[in-house]
Structure formats: C-alpha cells, structure tokens
Copies of this chain bind each other. A is one copy, B any other.
Amino acid sequence: MKARVHITLKSGVLDPQGKAIGHALEALGFEGVNEVRQGKVIEIDLVEEDPAKALRQLEEMCRKLLANTVIENYVIDLEP
C-alpha cells in the first residue's frame, strides 16, 4: 500500500526557504505572488495492505521520525 505524507511548517513558524523562493520568483519577473511556503512530501510504499493498520503505522512514523511536531504539521494520504 502506498502513502503520501505531507509535512508543512505550522502557521506562524518562519519559513526562510519559502521566503527565498518568493524573492526569486519576484526577481524573475513573476508578479502577484502573495506568499510561498515550502514543505516536504514523503512517499512510502508499505507491505501492509490494511488501510487502518497502515494509517496507525504511518502516524507512529510521523511522530517518531518524519515530522517535528513542535513546528510541523503532517497529513497522511493513503493511495488506494
């Protein structure tokens, strides 16, 4: 079973990478860019085929390794 984990900075946490991308877009002549935030996406291919069990396993992975829950949010999308 495949899953995608989106990890983004919580709102209010400074995002220098996103800011840099925003400035670079402006320098390239793109207008009308309000805000840019950068996050990570992690694609995981699991042996587990049961969605509920896979979700539990992924939640634990996020809490233990993938996301820093002090400053980051995570969203898990299971692919059918």
| A residues neighboring B (CB under 8 Å) | 6, 8, 18, 21, 24-25, 28, 30-48, 57, 60-61, 64-66
> Which 8 pairs from chain A and chain B are nearest by CB?
A32-B47, A34-B45, A35-B45, A37-B43, A39-B41, A41-B41, A36-B44, A38-B42
Across the interface, which residues of B come within 8 angstroms of A24, CB to CB? 65
Bound together, the chains give a CA A41 to CA B15 distance in angstroms of 13
Q: Could you write out 19 A-B pairs with CB less than 8 Å apart?
A: A18-B43, A21-B42, A21-B65, A28-B64, A31-B47, A32-B46, A32-B47, A32-B48, A33-B44, A34-B45, A34-B46, A34-B47, A35-B45, A37-B42, A37-B43, A38-B40, A38-B41, A38-B43, A39-B42
Q: How many copies does the complex hold?
A: 2
